[in-house]
A and B are shown apart, each in its own frame.
Chain A
Amino acid sequence: MGGHAIRNRIRQLRFDHEEMTQQDLADRIGVTRQTVNAIELGKYSPSLEVAFRIAAVFGVPLDQVFQHEEK
């Protein structure tokens, strides 16, 4: 069975939303700035709850924030 990776567009979405900072996003979804950074860098896959909160902040469906890719 091949590996998989979860990519995300959070950095781009932040840029598109008036260059929202990681701290602003972190405050709105209830995590630390370091956790937002870890998610952006692919070092941490958030829970569904946090993933939906991120999508809600940007007003887009979940699959426009996170994409599942086969390696």
Chain B
Amino acid sequence: MSFREKSAWISFVLVGLVFAAYFFPMASGELRGARQLHWYLLVTIAFIVLEVVLHIVLALQSPRDAKTPKDERERLIELKATRIAFWVLMTGALLSILTIHLGAEAGLLATHVFLAVVFAELVKFASQIVFYRRGV
């Protein structure tokens, strides 16, 4: 497995963990108001720290691959995955706007938009993994 495929797996798993850590307490109604904001900040910071630490570990394991610039196939995979994720994000954003008309408040709207962003990221990394495995 290449360095960049491993990187996509790390990001996919971490985004999935963020998804679970943030949205399950939200869905169960445990987080409201300021606690919601604190949890959002905590989860986001934890995600960034884990991304950086795990990618440093990965780079130390294969320093040569980490230093090699992305080649044309890797750039194509990134572009195609981002394109798919863009449509997921657009759909999620438009659906989020619709929830206003169903009576959603600002806090809930923010949660819906964050959900769309996280889901789009999950789709992006999953697409990258599929393209690395099956070809592009």
Contacts and interface: CB of A to CB of B under 8 A. Distances in A.
Interface residues of A, number: 14
A34 B135 contact: no
Contact of A44 (B2, B5, B68, B73): B73
B54 interface: no
Contact of B72 (A33, A41, A43, A47): A47
A2 interface: no
Contacts of B134: 43
Interface of A: 30-35, 38, 41-44, 46-47, 50
21 contacts: A31-B71, A31-B72, A31-B73, A32-B2, A32-B68, A32-B71, A34-B2, A34-B5, A34-B73, A35-B72, A35-B73, A38-B73, A38-B135, A38-B136, A41-B135, A43-B134, A43-B135, A44-B73, A44-B136, A46-B73, A50-B72
